[in-house]
Amino acid sequence: MATAKGGEEFIEKIIFINRVAKVHKGGRRFRFSAIVVVGDGKGRVGYGLGKAPEVPDAIRKALEKARKNMITVPVINGTIPHEIISDFGAAKVMLKPGRPGTGVIAGSTIRAIMDAAGIRDVVTKCIGSTNPHNVVKATFKALEDLQSPEYVAKKRGFNVEELMERIGHGEKA
């Protein structure tokens, strides 16, 4: 946990650190890249990629970018509102809402994002490439495309209760 300037507590997770070599006539020069996820555990989450000659500098740069590029995710009772499939490059990600008590069923990359976003019950599947860069981008694309019931109800001209009844999630007496 780290505190931002505004006094907010953020959950910071390092997803992947990569060592990159550049060959010069005197030998190899090593640099590092780091992918980091930052979230408040209440539906706001962001990712960043930092590159530097030293690992701590790469992580610091990634954290700064992640805090700048945060998105808001609709979280309902600790899960996502609906199933969604998204892809980026060769990585394809499927996210399904989980019932209370399911937990986060996901690989390490997607788990870090879900934990940072505050999503407690979700089932995920990574199809195709498991390259962390593309999986992170596919997951964020899916999270951005999620629509809250309030938004859908307003768009269709109903209130939330009417919408839930029409799609079969109404309360039964």
Phi then psi for residue 26, to 5 deg, are -85, -5
* Local structure of residue 170 (DSSP, 8 states): P
Where in the chain are all domains bearing CATH 3.30.230.10?
84-167
Q: How much of the chain, in percent, has pLDDT values that exceed 70?
A: 91
Which CATH number is correct for 11-72, 3.30.1180.20, 3.30.420.40, 3.40.1180.10, 3.30.160.20? 3.30.160.20
How far apart (Å, rounded) are the C-alpha atoms in residues 45 and 18?
22
Is a pLDDT exceeding 50 seen at residue 9?
yes
Asked if residue 9 lies in contact with residue 1, where contact means CB atoms within 8 angstroms, the answer is: yes
Q: Which fold has domain 84-167?
A: Ribosomal Protein S5; domain 2 (3.30.230)
Give residue-wise pLDDT tens across range 33-79: 999 999 999 999 999 999 999 999 999 999 999 999 999 999 988 89
How far apart (Å, rounded) are the C-alpha atoms in residues 56 and 48?
14
How far apart (Å, rounded) are the C-alpha atoms in residues 100 and 134?
29
Asked if residue 67 lies in contact with residue 109, where contact means CB atoms within 8 angstroms, the answer is: no
Residue 20 DSSP SS3: strand
Where in the chain are all domains bearing CATH 3.30.160.20?
11-72
Where does 25-173 show beta strands of DSSP type E?
Answer: 27-39, 44-52, 70-72, 84-88, 91-97, 104-105, 122-128
Give residue-wise pLDDT tens across range 117-137: 999 999 999 999 999 999 999
Geometric angle at alpha carbon 58, from 87 and 10, rounded to 5°: 70
How far apart (Å, rounded) are the C-alpha atoms in residues 62 and 42?
21
